[in-house]
Structure 1
Amino acid sequence: MLALLLCSIALPAQAEKADRYKKMEVESDQPGKVDLQNQVVVFNGNVVVSKGTMVIRAGRIEVRETPDGYHLATATGAPGQLATFRQKRDGVDEHIEGEAERLEYDSKADTIRFSGKASVKRLRGTAVADEVTGAQITYDNTAELFTVAGGAAAATPTNPTGRVRAVLSPRQDSPAAAEAASAVPPGARR
């Protein structure tokens, strides 16, 4: 049995601060169930959940409201598809995008957990700045922290050992980023 590999990476990734306090909207292609007594909403079939700039797309979602008014949502992908997440970062032209077999969102803790074939990217405009992959990734918006775990559960045909992986770009507008942008790749010189 492979040991669980843990890696914590602090990336500058704070989401829109106002999103946390927005209404959560859920829609789907198939009939849903709203249980007011137990504060549970269940929807299936091309489900789209939005809360401010945050959007989750899934085959199925279950949302529970806690007694203190926060939301706990569990989303799973449709057969053969992963559930997806996207949210704008606060004050910059950047987004956090992720996908996994299962997403667990906690509005009180301001976290989202990606489980099973998990991948999370930070996009600058449309370009990928950073990417993290593993069996499970937790994005803690408040602490601006991604935690990634790997091991046997993260194994894929292209990564049979299930190792976690992070690809990190230099901070934008830093000397390292300027140097990287001006570098000419080998073979491109004349």
Structure 2
Amino acid sequence: MKRLIPLLLLLGLAAQARAEKADAFKPTEIKCRSCEADGVTGVVTVSGGVVIQRGTLRIEADSGRIERSPDDYQFARLTASPGNKVRFRQKADGPGERWIEGEADRVEYDERAATVKLFSGAKIRRTASDRLPEEAQGEYIAYDSRKEFYVMRNTNTGEDRPGAGRNTIILPPSRVAQPAGALANKGDRP
């Protein structure tokens, strides 16, 4: 039961964190210092200040490998040099300024499965213009955007091992504090 409660809280976090749907139909632009692209295998290897842009999705890494499947789906494995992080940011679907952003030593994006996996020092933050941010951090975070489901594990391999570490979830309060005078004024009314 103790493990079920954090998962239910994460479901609430994930339910409002869907990626911008229109991004799936945008071209992928990759900027880097060095690139090797194999048109036969569909593999692109990049390094040196890698920036991947696809609609509102932006990923920054030190190096990476992007593969295109025969049925035209992309899979990307992006890594950071020691002391750096792979960072991503994407507008969440729906009204207003809502963003999902994260970082880790390695990030894997699977377009077909609609999953993002963050390995080692993983952090995800969901922001909205009218609310405090929601945050999650641990050694491994996987997010399935179709099922709106997060999984966190305490090792960077995606395993859950006793004594290996802890995950942290920070949920903002659901109620907004009223100004001090607002409560007193309500009590003065007949």
TM-score range, shorter chain: 0.7 to 0.9
Q: How many Å apart are 1:90 and its aligned residue? A: 1.0
Q: Specify which of 165, 169, 178 is matched with residue 182 of structure 1.
A: 178
Q: How many Å apart are 1:183 and its aligned residue? A: 7.3
C-alpha distance after superposition, 1:74-110 (max 9, x if no partner): 0001331010111000123110010000000011121
Change in Cα spacing, 1:166 to 1:33, as seen in structure 2 (3 Å) is same
Structure 1, unmatched stretches of 5+, are: 155-159, 171-175, 185-190
Change in Cα spacing, 1:127 to 1:81, as seen in structure 2 (3 Å) is farther
Report the structure, 1 or 2, having the larger helix content.
Answer: 2
Answer yes or no: is the 8 Å Cα contact 2:140–2:155 preserved in 1: no
Taking the aligned partners of 1:138 and 1:52, their CA distance within structure 2 comes to: 22
Taking the aligned partners of 2:167 and 2:128, their CA distance within structure 1 comes to: 23
Answer yes or no: is the 8 Å Cα contact 2:140–2:156 preserved in 1: no
Answering whether residue 86 of structure 2 is matched by residue 90 of structure 1, we say no
Q: Which has the larger radius of gyration?
A: 2
Taking the aligned partners of 2:117 and 2:86, their CA distance within structure 1 comes to: 12
Taking the aligned partners of 1:117 and 1:126, their CA distance within structure 2 comes to: 28
Give the aligned partner of residue 48 of structure 2.
45
Alignment of 1:34-183 (within 5 A): 34-91=37-94, 92-125=96-129, 128-151=132-155, 162-170=165-173, 176-178=174-176, 181-182=177-178
Answer yes or no: is the 8 Å Cα contact 1:60–1:75 preserved in 2: yes
Considering Cα pairs closer than 8 Å and 6+ residues apart, tell me whether 1 or 2 has the greater RCO: 1
TM-score, structure 2 as length reference: 0.79
Taking the aligned partners of 1:90 and 1:13, their CA distance within structure 2 comes to: 7
Number of corresponding residues: 167
**% same residue:** 34
Q: How many Å apart are 1:153 and its aligned residue? A: 7.5
Structure 2, unmatched stretches of 5+, are: 181-190
Segments of 4+ moved more than 4 angstroms:
151-154
Q: How many Å apart are 1:24 and its aligned residue? A: 1.2
Q: How many Å apart are 1:124 and its aligned residue? A: 1.4
Change in Cα spacing, 1:126 to 1:111, as seen in structure 2 (3 Å) is farther
Q: Specify which of 15, 40, 54 is matched with residue 19 of structure 2.
A: 15
Taking the aligned partners of 2:178 and 2:47, their CA distance within structure 1 comes to: 49
Q: CA RMSD in A?
A: 2.4
Taking the aligned partners of 2:172 and 2:132, their CA distance within structure 1 comes to: 9
Answer yes or no: is the 8 Å Cα contact 1:42–1:63 preserved in 2: yes
Taking the aligned partners of 2:129 and 2:21, their CA distance within structure 1 comes to: 19
